[in-house]
Amino acid sequence: MMGSQISITKFQLLMVLIQTQIGIGLLSLPNVVQESARGDGWISILFAGVVIQFLLIIYLKLLKKFPNDMLTDITKKLLGKHLGTIVNTTIYFYFIFTGSTLTILMIKILNEQLLPLTPGWVVSFLIIASCVYLTVSNLRVIARFFVLATFWILVLICITVLSIWLPKEIQFILPVGSAGGKNILLGSNNALLAMLGFEALLFLFPFVIGNTKGMLKTVSYANLFVTSFYTFITFLCLVTFSPEQLHQIREPVLFLFRGLTYRMVDRLDLIFLSIWIIPMTTSIIMYLFLASKCLAGKKKSYKNAVIINGIILFCLSFIPNTDKITDTLTQYVSFLSYTIVIFLPCLLLLLSRLVKKRRSGGFV
Amino acid sequence: MEEQLTQELQNNFRKILKYFSYTEDLATKEMIFDNKNCTILFLDSMVNKEQLQTFVIAPILEAETGEIDKVVEATEVQAVSSISEIGSKLMEGCCVILIEGREVAWTVSVAETTSRSIETPANERSIKSAHDGFVESIGTNLLLIRRRVKTPQLKVQSYTLGRQSNTKVNLVYLANLANSEMVEEIKRRVSSIDVDQLLSSGEIEEFIEDNPYSPFPQMLHTERPDRAVSYLTEGKVLLLVDGDPRVLIMPITFFAFYQASDDYNSRWMVGTFFRCIRFLSYIISICLPAIYIAIVSYHSEVLPIGILYSVRVSLENVPFHPFIEAFTMQIVLELLKEASIRLPTPIAQTIGIVGGVVIGTAVVEASFVSNTMVVIIGLTAISSFVAPVNEMGTSARLLGFPVMVAAAVLGFFGIAIVLMVIVMHLCKLETFGMPYFSPLAPLKEKDLKDTLIRMPAWKMVTRPSDSLPAYKKQQWRTRGWKKS
């Protein structure tokens, strides 16, 4: 009730994770995985889902040792104050960079598809202003909004089902596994980027009510949903478009809808994209939230941090969104993400075990 | 230091007269009682003369001696000694009996109660529900509520607000059900009000609401006792203001504005159907003109060629941007509504006809506005009046404007952003600590049974939890006969 500590339920956590993961990445996902994995792109995504599942288990093992701390507190506890601060700064930059990359990509796609003549800064200002408006409140309100936004994803799934009636060619994905293990792995690597967002768990864990039990189930459901949704869409694209077409189409998911025509509406892709603005924005909101939590820590300056980060995001969105720059940005983000999302939690888990052992050995 | 009565009658009388600024409707009646001079004071306009004669004057003349509170036959006889107390009693419609050599006076309640008879509220009509409505008298309104909930738990807390107006304000709630923390907060806010005059519940709403800058109404006004009581039994608090037939209900959720008493008296499928229609109306009244503007000015490729052709043909001779069209038409509609709403019916009808003909046909024939736009605006206007509570419909119309502007400037993207911000705002809103957009945000599956849909009455085992009632269960046996 009033004044009690801000907390969210497990159901809300599930929705928050789903909303953070699903975003702009989906639109180009089939194109990205197809680059290396060819017709076996859908296997790549399944595999990426399995990897994420393992990561989530590692996260939970780590977090259960510190049920009241966010990642930034854990690093300080395990690595000491100075090293911890350096690592936390890296984490902060990771969130800011991911957030701004998402913003830049979103502006780019909106400029290409919906508003070819509107200057990018107007779009980015509106997006970031609305993100800041929600993020300044608190996690509970964010979670409420994300739960509502998930209904939209259900609407989108319904629209997606319509595209089943497009002509399909199952030959495109046969024979299964023909791309070879290495290429499928490379495909997973690319898919992982589109599925980022599960690392929010590292910060949300202490806010969840009853976070001692049943967390694995919750996060697994989130992962299951995202992985199957992505696999489903990618599979649809892979059987609808030929490999040559897929190679040329940057956002195959939108083209999936462009083929549909009805008596009352045409160009479903525009409507799809307009609705998709919401899941895209929710990802940015979450990264803005994470960056601000990083910056503010447990102090009360959270609101100011949100506004500062909003301004930083806005400034970063002025980076011209040519293909070359966005590709470099994506590379940086992926490099950073491997450090923060995979390497750091594993290291922390190992350290926490060592510390525990040494303590029990030394003091008893 | 409060002025007290003295033993001298003339002195007391002068003091009271001074207290009332020598007003000329302060009447007196001189008599002899117990062989002493005795004066009865009353505000001529506030008392019922017949009662005064039969219950006060006649018994005193008859008895000639004894104790006043035994002699006088009225229900409420009270001894008071300070001038200000006497003053407030006089203003409530009591008469004051002063006796030579006594430092106390007796006040007897003989108030004139003129009140409108109980009628069907004009702005909340119903087909299948109770037809009584609140009136301007706070006593009658309390009676209407008490008659429906006959429980000792019904608690009335009264306040007198307004330095000049001294308006009676009553807070009504169920002591065993309403969330005590919330009730305390409401009491704190109400008792903090210090103004000269308080004339309507609208003012008090603005004084105590959480988010004055929100376009959404955060308290529900109603003139229907059945509606008020139905929220009372959900653990909400009612606020009655003397002189205002509208009762304030708080804290309220968004969805309460789309519930009507009739829903519960129709079959549940019918009720659910109407609920859905109303929510559709809300969405239409916010979005429809904006979507039209966005489509014709940015995304005409969304329409298949057949429809696009007919829309384009109607736009052919119109010299204005669709946004200007939509905006002026909305304004014209508001003008028509405002012009006809307070006029006597025959004139209002004339305005309706003139407006209808001018807007409907002449404007199109003069090709100021396209045919499609008239259809769109007509639909929007009708759907904004569907809301059972007028305020929400008006707020929907108002919100339609920013969405229209966004659509005219940024197309679909603008609509999506503005709608998203509106939903964010709804998620953020809290009234008296209770979430406004409950049960959608935060999502409470159990409470959904009485929002977008209306489940059968026997399914509503628990009451809505948005105002955190002390206990949830509200039904124990409904269709128990089936099991035996």
Question: Is the CB of residue B81 less than 8 Å from the CB of residue B4?
Answer: yes
How many CA atoms does the CB half-sphere of A254 hold within 13 Å? 21
B423 CB contacts (<8 Å, ≥6 apart)?
A: A145, A148
Confidence band (pLDDT; 50, 70, 90) for B417? very high
**How many whole angstroms separate alpha carbon B160 and alpha carbon B191?**
9
Residue B339 confidence (pLDDT) above 50: yes
User: How many angstroms away from the CA of A331 is the closest CA of chain B?
Assistant: 28
**Amino acid A120: pLDDT:** 86
**Amino acid A2: pLDDT:** 37
Whether A134 and B428 lie within 8 Å, measured CB to CB: yes
Residue A356 confidence (pLDDT) above 80: no
**How many whole angstroms separate alpha carbon A250 and alpha carbon A235?**
16
**How many whole angstroms separate alpha carbon B143 and alpha carbon B147?**
6
pLDDT tens string B264-310: 898 999 999 999 999 999 999 999 999 999 999 888 888 888 888 88
Nearest to A130 among B185, B421, B442 (CB): B421
In chain B, residues with a C-beta closer than 8 Å to the C-beta of A141 are 427-428
What residues of B are in the A interface, CB distance below 8 Å? Answer: 181, 185, 298-299, 301-307, 410-417, 420-421, 423-424, 427-428, 433, 435, 437, 440-443, 468
Residue A250 confidence (pLDDT) above 80: yes
User: How many angstroms away from the CA of B281 is the closest CA of chain A?
Assistant: 19
The angle, 0 to 180 degrees and rounded to 10, between the axes of the packed helices A41-65 and A25-37 is 120
User: How many angstroms away from the CA of B475 is the closest CA of chain A?
Assistant: 25
Residue A3 confidence (pLDDT) above 60: no
User: How many angstroms away from the CA of A258 is the closest CA of chain B?
Assistant: 10
Residue B193 confidence (pLDDT) above 50: yes
pLDDT tens string A271-330: 888 888 999 999 999 999 999 988 887 667 888 899 999 999 999 888 877 888 888 888
Of residues B255 and B115, the one with the higher pLDDT is: B255
How much of chain A exceeds pLDDT 70, in percent? 96
Confidence band (pLDDT; 50, 70, 90) for A4? very low
Domain spans, chain B: 9-109, 138-252, 266-434
In chain A, residues with a C-beta closer than 8 Å to the C-beta of B443 are 11, 144, 147-148
Residue A364 confidence (pLDDT) above 50: no
Overall average pLDDT of the B233-245 stretch: 93
Confidence band (pLDDT; 50, 70, 90) for A5? low
Overall average pLDDT of the A203-217 stretch: 86
How much of chain A exceeds pLDDT 90, in percent? 22
**Residue that is written with structure tokens 């301007």 in the block:** B136
Whether A133 and B421 lie within 8 Å, measured CB to CB: yes
Ranking B173-177, B385-389, B443-447 by mean pLDDT, the lowest is B443-447
Whole-complex ipTM: 0.91
In chain A, residues with a C-beta closer than 8 Å to the C-beta of B302 are 265-267, 270-271
Residue type, A281: T
DSSP states along B150-189: --TTEEEEEEEE-TTT-EEEEEEEETTTS-HHHHHHHHHH
In chain A, residues with a C-beta closer than 8 Å to the C-beta of B413 are 110, 114-115, 123, 126, 274, 277
Q: For domain A10-341, give the CATH number.
A: 1.20.1740.10
Confidence band (pLDDT; 50, 70, 90) for B484? low
pLDDT tens string A166-199: 777 777 777 777 777 788 888 888 888 788 888 8
**Amino acid B451: pLDDT:** 82
Residue B394 confidence (pLDDT) above 50: yes
Residue B74 confidence (pLDDT) above 80: no
